[in-house]
Amino acid sequence: MEDIMEDNFEKLNLLLEQELCEFVDIPDGFTGQTESGELRLIYLMNDAVESFLVLKNARMTGNYVRDYEGEFEGSIEKADRDLCEAEYILVIHQGQNVFTVFFEDILLETQLYNYGELGHFWVKGYENLRVMEYQIAILRDKYEYLGEKYCTEYEGKLAMLHDFPPLNYLFYPAVPEKYIVPVDNPWEVTAEALAVMQELATEAGDEKLGKMLRRYEKNPDISNAKKIAGMLCRSSHLPVITLLGEKIREAASVYPDRDFGRKQNKYLHELMEKAERRKEELEVENVQTLIYREEPFIYDCDSISFQVYLMIVRKGVWKQKIMVEKI
């Protein structure tokens, strides 16, 4: 139990190091205690996971400023029981504003969700590759921030593709450039990532890509990364990309879909039925079609509306041709 609690404190310290401290379910200017005595901090929030750090028997002095942007400093320390009843003290400086949280314990609350059919189309061109770059990125976040026990064995392998430059944000970013969070040594490829790609190339029967991957393994330079990135968008290598997409969907399918309540679930179901009918029309013409959707987080259902898309994939003479239809 102490090890779990210590791990949760490490998670809280990680947030503070990243200058993050976003509470949910409390209003701007909040002070005092909630009815439950708990304060919940967002720890990790993406399409694959909604995770919170829960401060138990918590009491806030000072006032919390929601949606704050600016200078930030946070610290956590063990309280002196002779001076106060709390076990721990969290002190947050939001510029000139300061608030303090006294609390007894810290727990991790996590819900995992099916992310295989979730995607965003913020950047045009080769959307099939960009969706997978996004899905691999959020899977890697789950793997790194929560640990292996929150991932299946195969998800752990797929998460390694974050370290495969030809498929990461260097070539196929899912978000506009201003939103990209650079990583250290983005051109560095790992043996684990290469092994996963080799498995995919072998299963798809793509000998040319397999040969290029072996060359990349011997000489992992920028030139070879660019050559492979160029291969991934060609029609001749579409089977590997299709296979990877299937693997991601299969890995994610072990988790439940979000439950938004009867009314919103019905609305989403109707959109999905329309998408399925359109997909059937296209598949009669032997056109590869995938359905993706955007949906809000459970904790904040009003933040984004439901959107459903059809991603239509065709083989061009040289490169893949991708079209996205909004339902």
pLDDT number for residue 83: 65
Query: How many angstroms separate the CA atoms of 171 and 129, rounded?
Result: 9
Residue 279 has pLDDT above 60, yes or no: yes
Residue 178 has pLDDT above 70, yes or no: yes
pLDDT in tens, 19-78: 999 999 999 999 999 999 999 999 999 999 999 999 999 999 999 999 999 999 999 988
Could you tell me the pTM of the whole model?
0.92
pLDDT number for residue 79: 75
pLDDT in tens, 147-165: 999 999 999 999 999 999 9
Supply the DSSP string of 31-54, one letter for each residue. Answer: -B--TTS-EEEEEEEETTEEEEEE
User: Average pLDDT of 106-119?
Assistant: 97
Q: Which of 244, 268, 271 is nearest to 257 (CA)?
A: 268
Residue 2 has pLDDT above 60, yes or no: no
For the chain, the structural domain boundaries read 2-111, 124-257, 259-327
> Which one is predicted more confidently, 195 or 263?
195
Residue 226 has pLDDT above 60, yes or no: yes
Instruction: Say if CB 79 and CB 87 are below 8 A apart.
Output: yes
Alpha helices in 106-152 (DSSP H): 127-146
Residues 6+ apart with CB under 8 A from 233: 126, 129, 319, 320
Q: For 70, which DSSP code?
A: S
- Residue 24 bridge partners (DSSP): 40
